[in-house]
A = this chain, B = another copy of it.
Amino acid sequence: MDAIKKQRFGLPNCRLLSGSTLDIEVGYETYGQLNAAGNNAVLVCHYWTGTSHAAGRYAAADPLPGWWDALIGPGKVIDTNHFFVVCSDTLANVQAHDPNVISTGPASIDAATGEPYGSRFPVLTIRDMVHVQRALMDHLGITHVRAVGGPSAGGMQALEWACTYPDFMDKVFGVCTYGRSNAFFTLGVYRWCRAFLQSDPHWHGGDYYSGPGPQQGLRRALGLITLLAQAPARINATARASDSGWDLPDGAPPYTDPDGVFPYEPSFNAFIDERARFADANAFLAIARAATLHNVGWRRRGFAEALSAVRAEVLMIPCEHDLFFPPGDSRDVVDAILQGGGRAELYTISSDWGHFACVFDTDRFAVRLRDFLKPK
């Protein structure tokens, strides 16, 4: 694949579901070529802490390619020899300080005050993310796509697309995802992350941009979702491969240091450092909250009624041991679509990665997804 270039899309005066209006800019990337008829596009939506860098490299020397590079490219599952793939940064992208991310969010300057929005940034929804993507499609001259899909929060966006613009796509796929929030995420993950951020002495109610920011709270929150995104058995096995106890020399008085470090902690901490490097705490929480508030149909219609509007063919790919979106969540979506007379299939994978399988163990569903995307 040629070197990837970030592009910029602006949408001034955009009205959000909350009622606020916002001048919006987001970055996007494309892979492959849009055909003359403009009908070979696939929209890929990214996960919570992800970015629009779904595939390829900006430069040959980049250590890592985009996050779904195993699936997107010439001859790959989402074959850029046939498809024109688009991925855009969400609003309030978590990686706000990544030089390759363009995303209006809490860290952006509010023109009205000359200061970062901080705590004044409006409440976001998955619906708003889809609204901006829809405008981007117009901008690119795309009136119909072959498919919309993504992992985790990306799949939430895809299902929102399917309910809100049911005639816009042929197919929808979601990996380790759901069409609404669930109680474990809301009562648990969201509230724990929020507690870590709010109890950081540098939080200042979200208006921390003139100070060091709540880096400890953010690292704790990222650590939490990193551990919960794997099956505990996998974490334990990885650690046991290095050692099973405290790293203390035999004969030393043990148990003296509650901050003592297990031998497997430095590599874990290095991974969290990498995730935290460009991340913004407000944005992290804004996306979490968007996931928590999510409910296709937005309570104006019920969940099942909303999904009965879906016209696209839907493939849901849950993973066993996924704590965020257990397989029953995907089954719930498929059942609602089938009961509404639509077309939906469940393809449950098994991986000790758990939730992370959606990006780290793509081999488990690559063949099934390739078949699904093939024109019939």
- A: which residues have CB within 8 A of B? 17-19, 123, 125, 180-184, 186-188, 191-192, 194-196, 199-200, 220, 223-224, 227-228, 231-233, 235-240, 244-246, 248, 250, 253-256, 258, 262, 264-265, 268, 289, 293, 295, 298-300, 303, 323-324, 326-329
Contact = CB atoms under 8 A, between A and B. Distances in A.
Contacts of A125: 255
Given A245-B299, A299-B245, A326-B233, A255 B17 contact: yes
Contacts of A258: 123, 194, 289
23 contacts: A18-B253, A18-B255, A123-B256, A182-B235, A183-B238, A183-B239, A183-B240, A183-B262, A183-B264, A184-B235, A187-B223, A195-B196, A231-B326, A232-B326, A233-B327, A233-B328, A236-B329, A237-B328, A244-B303, A245-B295, A246-B293, A250-B299, A323-B323
A222 to B, nearest CB: 13
A194 B227 CA distance: 16
B300 A250 contact: yes
Contacts of A195: 196, 199, 220
Contacts of A236: 182-184, 326, 328-329
A289 B264 CA distance: 18
Contacts of A191: 223
Q: How many copies does the complex hold?
A: 2
Given A180-B245, A233-B327, A236-B328, 13 more contacts: A123-B256, A125-B255, A180-B244, A183-B235, A183-B236, A188-B224, A188-B228, A188-B235, A192-B220, A196-B199, A246-B293, A246-B299, A248-B299
Nearest to A17: B255
Given A244-B180, A255-B293, A186 B262 contact: yes
B244 A295 contact: yes
A17 to B, nearest CB: 7
Contacts of A289: 258
A200 B235 CA distance: 28
A322 to B, nearest CB: 8
Contacts of A232: 182, 184, 188, 323-324, 326
A289 B237 CA distance: 21
Contacts of A329: 236
The 4 closest A-B pairs by CB, nearest first: A183-B239, A199-B199, A184-B232, A233-B326
Contacts of A123: 255-256, 258
Contacts of A254: 18, 293, 298-299
Contacts of A235: 182-184, 187-188
Nearest to A122: B255
B328 A184 contact: no
A157 to B, nearest CB: 17
